Amino acid sequence: MNGVSVTRAWVAGRRVRRLRRTLVPWTLCAALLLAACDSSGGGDAKGAGASPKDTTCDGKIHGIAHITVWYHAGPSGEFTTLQKQVKEFNGQQKQVRVELVTLPEDRAYTALVLSAAASGDLPDLLDFDGPNLYSYAWSGKLRPIDSCVPASVRADLLPTIRQQGTYAGRLWGVGTFDSGMGLYVRKSVLRKAGIRIPAGPKDAWTATELTGILRKLRKQGYKAPLDLRLVYSQPGQEWNTYGFAPAVWSAGGDLIEPGDHRTADGYVNGPGAVKALTDMQNWAKDGLIDMVKDDKAFVSGRSAISWCGHWTYPEFNKAFPGDVAIVPLPDFGRGTATGMGSFQWGVPAGDADGDAVWRFLSFLLQPAQVHRMSVANGAIPATESAVKLSPQYAPGGPEHLFIEQLRDGVARPRPQTPAYPAISDAFSRAFAKIIFDRAPVQATLDEAAKKIDKDLAAHDGYPANTS
């Protein structure tokens, strides 16, 4: 269902008194916003670095509070679970009434958020992809939620959830699940070929070792033994950055200057990035990567190794029961690295009742509710208390690597800067050119650095608020 039809259905089916403004105009300018997002970090130079009013929680809710919640139309299990959670929350208490609005996923959702922010029509509680938090916070689209989240809840969150939700020393978002990534392998295939199976992050294959493994597997009959899930590598999609920035980090590179984020030159096009993507391009040139753009390389048996995320484990394990292991991404020289982060909840700038919003968020963060959502979408529970309810993440469990990486610092956040949308777009397009078109690695990354630095210059380096 497209954005217009979703919007019309919502408008037709909800009471007018709960609608402050209509959603229809947002969809009319979505295409323009998408084009704008391709070339900018998403921040508005006017009011840049603004300090929005905090989301204040004093423990009091006066009368009956109505809050509107926006949610991306993610996997069906995820969506239906949230619907049930909203229904149960509304049914078990009478002070806070939650109105759930689901909108199109991916870039259309981001376009709607940006349009709504420009016209002052954001909801009381917003669901968004985690790396967008920094742009939203910097440009004044979100309000800090420090006073709403108790210390006990913060302590229970995985360190990566706290890290992703923090910008400029403030907490702006929390999530109910995190992500994990690794190499999925067929244990029986590797054992037959005499290939060792890494036991954990400290035991990861080196990139050179993986090259030899792929060549050995090709001799075993796997024409293109490595699946990179290139079906996700569409223009503007996040997979190229989420999936393959870890190779750059592992080689000692970065997408932008760490710390101050003042320039991408010398980082996204630096020696580490060039080394990692040259290695990967060589795999493509040697025919070691499955270039078929579907999601069946691993389950169909075309590839024996799949570079992918947590969401594929149920499918892979169903295809090969008991024969799937998850091992770390390869070490390109400085140790294995992996991605982290997923959708988070934040409070948009406006007049939302912080206590009412937190009442609902605290319900979603209850151990049973976090566990319930992670079962539905296959993601990693965001809290330690919920992880304890999930035996697959316990030591010896099939997905223990994911939680180990999130706890022990192997997982890294994508650059925590308002420039992230521009960084991701430039790197994603560069990666696609390098892998699909066999474009010169150094020159392609040089162009990506120029694009990112152009965005930084257009926003004066995204200065922090000094008021």
CB 246 within 8 A of CB 329: yes
Looking up tokens 């999609």, which residue turns up?
237
Confidence of residue 14 (pLDDT cuts 50, 70, 90): very low
Checking if the pLDDT of 40 tops 80, the result is no
Considering only residues 132 and 75, tell me which one the structure prediction assigns the higher pLDDT. 132
Q: What is the mean pLDDT of residues 156-184?
A: 96
Query: In the structure, what pLDDT confidence band is assigned to residue 133 with cuts at 50, 70 and 90?
Result: very high
Helix or strand (DSSP H, E) at 342: none
What local confidence, expressed as pLDDT, does residue 59 receive?
86
Pairing of strands 411-412, 338-339: parallel
Whether residue 31 has pLDDT greater than 90: no
pLDDT at 110: 81
112 band by pLDDT with thresholds 50, 70 and 90:
confident
The pLDDT value recorded for residue 51 is 56
Q: What confidence score (pLDDT) does residue 10 get?
A: 37
Domain 181-339+419-458: state its class.
Answer: alpha beta
For the chain, the domains span 3-179+341-408, 181-339+419-458
**Residue 299, CB half-sphere, CA atoms under 13 Å: how many?**
14
Q: Is the pLDDT of residue 418 over 80?
A: yes
**What pLDDT is stored for residue 234 in this prediction?**
80
Classify strands 96-103 and 65-72 as parallel, antiparallel or unpaired: parallel
Give the pLDDT mean for 362-384.
97
Residue 8 has pLDDT above 50, yes or no: no
Higher pLDDT, 217 or 120: 217
Q: For 300-311, write each residue's pLDDT tens digit.
A: 999 999 999 999
Task: Tell me which H or E stretch contains 100.
Answer: strand 96-103
Backbone angles phi, psi at 56, to 5 degrees: -95, 130
- Is the pLDDT at 422 greater than 80? The verdict is yes
CA 178 to chain CA centroid, Å, is 8
- Burial of residue 180 (CB within 10 Å: 0-12, 13-18, 19+) is buried
Read off the pLDDT band of 456 (50, 70, 90). Answer: very high
The least confident of 36-40, 221-225, 261-265 is 36-40
Residue 119: per-residue pLDDT: 86
pLDDT at 113 (0 to 100)? 86
DSSP code of 270? S
The secondary structure of residue 289, as a DSSP letter, is B
- DSSP tag of 50: -
Q: How far is CA 309 from CA 238, 339, 402, 448, in A?
A: 13, 9, 9, 25
Cα angle 266, 270, 274 (rounded to 5 degrees) comes to 155
Closest C-alpha to 289, from 346, 227, 246, 337: 227
Q: Does residue 45 register a pLDDT over 90?
A: no
Question: Percentage of the chain surpassing pLDDT 90?
Answer: 78
Radius of gyration of the chain measured on its C-alpha atoms: 22
- Contact present, 302 and 292 (Cβ < 8 Å): yes
pLDDT at residue 368 tops 50:
yes
56 has pLDDT over 80: no
- pLDDT level of residue 107 (50, 70, 90 thresholds): low
Mean pLDDT (the chain) is 88
Asked if the domains at 3-179+341-408 and 181-339+419-458 fall in one CATH topology, the answer is yes
Q: Which CATH superfamily is domain 3-179+341-408 in?
A: Periplasmic binding protein-like II (3.40.190.10)
The pTM of this model reads: 0.88
Question: Region 355-363: what's the mean pLDDT?
Answer: 97
Using the predicted structure, report yes or no on whether residue 313 has a pLDDT greater than 90.
yes
Distance between CA atoms of residues 107 and 425, nearest Å: 12
CA 338/CA 331 separation, integer angstroms = 10
d(CA 285, CA 192): 26
Give the model's pLDDT for residue 29. 36
% of the chain beyond a pLDDT of 70: 87
State yes or no: pLDDT of 150 exceeds 70. yes
| Mean pLDDT value across residues 9-25 | 35
Q: What is the rounded average pLDDT of the residues 101-105?
A: 82
Cβ neighbors of 259 (< 8 A, separation 6 or more) are none
More confident residue, 51 or 233: 233
The per-residue pLDDT for 189 is: 97
